[in-house]
Amino acid sequence: EKISERGFFKVLRPVFQRNSKWSVHRPVPDLGDASTPMEEVREFYRFWYDFTSWRDVSPKFLKTNDTQLEDIYDCPRQERREKQKHNVSIRKKFEVHERLRITKLANLAWKHDPRLEE
């Protein structure tokens, strides 16, 4: 509802711009405007559906999942391995969470994009 009320480009452009800082690939395509050629629109969605992030686990994710990354320094070898496994597990969960979040954002944009209604 907010997208319809405030306008697709006005609402979603800053959201995509904020998320673009986590992109492994540069340059990040711009959302464009109502007159953007269809090929550029397709390229924008291709980019976001294949988005690769370099973002590491966020404090908000750790708090939500009631967990912490383990400090692996100054501990015996076996304990360090256990802690590394734990950290890898948390990072994988975060990657899945992050990919889902970006995919939902791209789906939301696709659904409301006035350029795709034709």
Q: Where are the domains of the chain?
A: 2-116
pLDDT tens for 55-101 read: 988 888 888 889 999 999 899 999 999 999 999 999 999 999 999 99
How far apart, in whole angstroms, are the C-alpha atoms of residue 96 and residue 115?
29
Q: Under DSSP, is residue 23 helix (H, G, I), strand (E, B) or coil?
A: strand
Residues 109 and 44 sit within 8 Å (Cβ to Cβ): no
The pTM of this model reads 0.83
**How many C-alpha atoms does 46 have within 13 Å on its Cβ side?**
6
Q: Under DSSP, is residue 53 helix (H, G, I), strand (E, B) or coil?
A: strand
How far apart, in whole angstroms, are the C-alpha atoms of residue 72 and residue 76?
9
pLDDT tens for 98-113 read: 999 999 999 999 999 9
AA identity, residue 63: K
